Amino acid sequence: MKTLIYMIGISMIMTTSLVRSSTEELNSSLETQLKDKSSDGKVLDSEGNEYRTVIIGNQTWLAENLRVTKFQDGSKVSTGFIPDDDESLLTKYGRLYNWKDVSDKRNLCPDGWRVASDEDWQELEKSIGIEELELNTLGWRGKDDTAITLKAHQPDTLFKQFDQSMVNKYNFSATPAGVKLGNWYITQGMYTEFWTSTNASEKEALARTLAYSWWNSHKGEIRRATLNKSYMFSVRCVKD
């Protein structure tokens, strides 16, 4: 009987040891995977600002608005304002740039990246479901609340209920930074405007707009528009 109890005890110790060893190996593997995952999808700009990145279709995009104040060669940009001049909003909203800075050959984006062109945005839009016939049209485009898949958030409103599982589906994390016109910061929390690097005319360039306000009926759409180059908007970069 004593021998049987002794053998059962040894068996339990061995089983516990094996379970502990297996658990430790699993935890170690998970920690390694998490470390690997956290080190992927990041890029630094010329000033050391770190950005998350995201793959959508065949493109790799910054998943945050640009925050840099210098071009790749170290020279200063002429704009690059934080909304409301509030440093606490820098990470959330990034900086606002005019098209002169956006189109400058010295390049705002990190090395190996470029300011997204109209064509880059069209490829993104096609990847998230905007119909090809709409891609080249101006104005609000997209069906079935396509735009919310790019937004960091989109609350339900009194007049509209959104499928919250679709919000930020692609981890693009667009936020309503608003714009700067002259000395005025406006539409923060209501709109985000993204410059493209594509020229439209002497005074205008192509841009994209997302709407957030409860009263705006275009919250599920993406606007393609030509806007004044002096306006200051957010910027997203795409990998070369």
pLDDT digits (tens, 9 = 90+) for 37-96: 333 489 999 999 999 999 999 999 999 999 999 999 999 999 999 999 999 999 999 999
> Do 159 and 132 fall within a single domain?
yes
> Do 27 and 61 fall within a single domain?
no
**HSE of 126, CA atoms in CB hemisphere, 13 A:** 13
> Do 129 and 97 fall within a single domain?
yes
> Do 5 and 72 fall within a single domain?
no
- Tell me the average pLDDT across 141-155: 97
> Do 122 and 163 fall within a single domain?
yes
Q: Residue 44: beta bridge partners?
A: 50
Say what the pLDDT of residue 112 is: 98
> Do 16 and 27 fall within a single domain?
yes
SS3 204: strand
Convert 172-193 to b/e letters by CB count within 10 Å (16 or more is b).
bbbbbbbbbeeeebebbeebbb
> Do 107 and 22 fall within a single domain?
no
Question: Which residue bears the tokens 């104040």?
Answer: 69
Q: Name the amino acid, one letter, at 177.
A: A
Say what the pLDDT of residue 18 is: 35
Provide DSSP, 96-158: BB-HHHHH-TT-SSPTTEEEPPHHHHHHHHHHTT--GGGTT--EEE-STTGGGGGBS-----S
Q: Look up the domain containing 214 and give its range.
A: 42-239
- Strand runs labelled E in the chain: 42-44, 50-56, 59-62, 113-115, 139-141, 179-181, 184-186, 191-199, 204-211, 222-228, 237-239
Torsion angles phi and psi, residue 37, rounded to 5: -65, -40
pLDDT(36) > 50: no
- Tell me the average pLDDT across 210-224: 97
- Looking at the structure of the chain, the number of domains it has is 2
